[in-house]
Structure 1
């Protein structure tokens, strides 16, 4: 079975941001997201794969037999925009999108240009709802 590319690494998050992110606003927003997610959940940020900053972890297993670990919440400060891994398919989360701000929906994430484009309180509510979803549906290290 193929190894999951998005595994926790030993790269320091701060080093990654300083080396990878070349835009001052995106750097500031990255550090703000880290501060908020740490404050909301108490998890230390960890690098997952080469570009995802994740918080906490959970174990998933698909019907196909593929399984692995993933961060509960995360984001990646990509060149064009942030990828936010904070959304679950619960009805509450879908309704929160109405007041979220400027974003695009991807297959597994939300894309935003900058934090000023979104409502931070809605982001927090989405994150909390996503963790509740993961606790319900997966073996979750939410209480680490």
Structure 2
């Protein structure tokens, strides 16, 4: 039996979620990333689950037949890091080399502070990631 995805769009306000981030620096960073991702995607922020702020969405189907929907680009203002959820791809690797101080694990990019990275490169990463998702998963 197919299982449901845990992370789904919710009715929670992304703006209220970001405004409630307790650390003022992390909150300001989240507001800045939200502005960049909204500009790149042309879509408003949507909460996916309790802590992921996503922009635009794509549908996927695994070889097993399992289907789902996920945010095309997203982030989460976690306590130790700002976590960026951006599509992998060859173009991403070159941009990551120019991004600034960050760590990667799986499909996630971990940033301690936006002051440590180049926002122009983040904008490029979001643009490339969104294009990659749309090319891989056309609706």
* TM-score normalised by length of structure 2: 0.93
Structure 1 counterpart of 2:82: 82
Work out whether residues 55 and 72 of structure 2, in 8 Å CA contact, stay in contact via their aligned partners in 1.
yes
Work out whether residues 60 and 139 of structure 1, in 8 Å CA contact, stay in contact via their aligned partners in 2.
no
Structure 2 counterpart of 1:102: 101
User: 1:30-45 maps to which residues of 2 (within 5 A)?
Assistant: 30-45=30-45
For residues 112 and 138 of structure 1, what CA distance do their matches in structure 2 show? 27
Cα deviation 1:13-56 (Å, max 9, x = unaligned):
1221233x210000111111111211222110010011000000
Considering only aligned residues, what root-mean-square deviation do their CA atoms show, in Å? Answer: 1.2
Work out whether residues 87 and 110 of structure 1, in 8 Å CA contact, stay in contact via their aligned partners in 2.
no
Work out whether 1:115 is the aligned partner of 2:114: yes
5+ residue gaps, structure 1: none
Local SS of the residue matching 1:127: helix
Local SS of the residue matching 2:68: strand
For residues 87 and 139 of structure 1, what CA distance do their matches in structure 2 show? 14
* TM-score normalised by length of structure 1: 0.90
Q: How many residues align?
A: 138
5+ residue gaps, structure 2: none
User: 1:52-63 maps to which residues of 2 (within 5 A)?
Assistant: 52-63=52-63
Cα deviation 1:74-99 (Å, max 9, x = unaligned):
000001101101232x2111111111
Q: Which runs of 4+ in 1 moved over 2 A?
A: none
Work out whether 1:64 is the aligned partner of 2:64: yes
